[in-house]
């Protein structure tokens, strides 16, 4: 099983679907080089990850929250081949768990 690919976020602890899908369908994308990007609501950024075991990727990110610079960290972890859970921690801001499904 691999974390590489695009994952569509379907649930977030802190925000409802109206917010996290307001501009695009919320997602997190992981490339083969463990770099990627994400967007939910008005938060978007680029991730730089490192595998922790076989099922968890820890990452830092740099991006924007409502056009203001933001950064943070997080993780994404395989639940099964088509489902992940994870968490975003925005530096000096909110944090939220999320659940996502593999894009088809």
Class of domain 5-102 (CATH, top level): mainly beta
Contact 70, 43 (CB under 8 A): yes
Q: Rounded to two decimals, what is the model's pTM? A: 0.94
State residue 21's pLDDT score: 97
pLDDT at 6 (0 to 100)? 98
Q: Across all residues in the chain, what is the average pLDDT?
A: 96
Other beta carbons less than 10 A from residue 96's beta carbon: 19
Convert the pLDDT of each residue in 3-52 to its tens digit.
999 999 999 999 999 999 999 999 999 999 999 999 999 999 999 999 99
Burial pattern 18-52, b for ≥16 Cβ within 10 A else e, equals: eebbeeeebbbbbeeebebbbbbbebbbebebeee
Taking only the tens place, the pLDDT of each residue in 39-83 is 999 999 999 999 999 999 999 999 999 999 999 999 999 999 999
Hey, where are the domains in the chain? 5-102
Q: What mean pLDDT comes out for the span 85-99?
A: 96
Closest to 48 measured CA to CA, from 26, 57, 40, 6 = 57
pLDDT of residue 5: 97
* pLDDT band (50, 70, 90) for residue 1: low
**Which tokens sit at 101?**
């499904």
């Amino acid at each position: 099983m691999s974390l590489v690919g695009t994952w569509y976020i379907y649930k977030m602890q802190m925000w409802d679907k109206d917010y996290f899908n307001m501009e695009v369908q919320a997602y997190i994308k992981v490339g083969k080089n463990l770099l990627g990007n994400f967007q939910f609501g008005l938060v978007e950024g680029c991730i730089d990850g490192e595998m922790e075991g076989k099922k968890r990727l820890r990452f830092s990110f740099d991006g924007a929250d409502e056009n203001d610079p933001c950064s943070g960290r997080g993780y994404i972890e395989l639940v099964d081949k088509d489902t992940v859970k994870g968490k975003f921690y925005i530096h000096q801001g909110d944090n939220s768990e999320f659940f996502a499904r593999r894009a088809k």
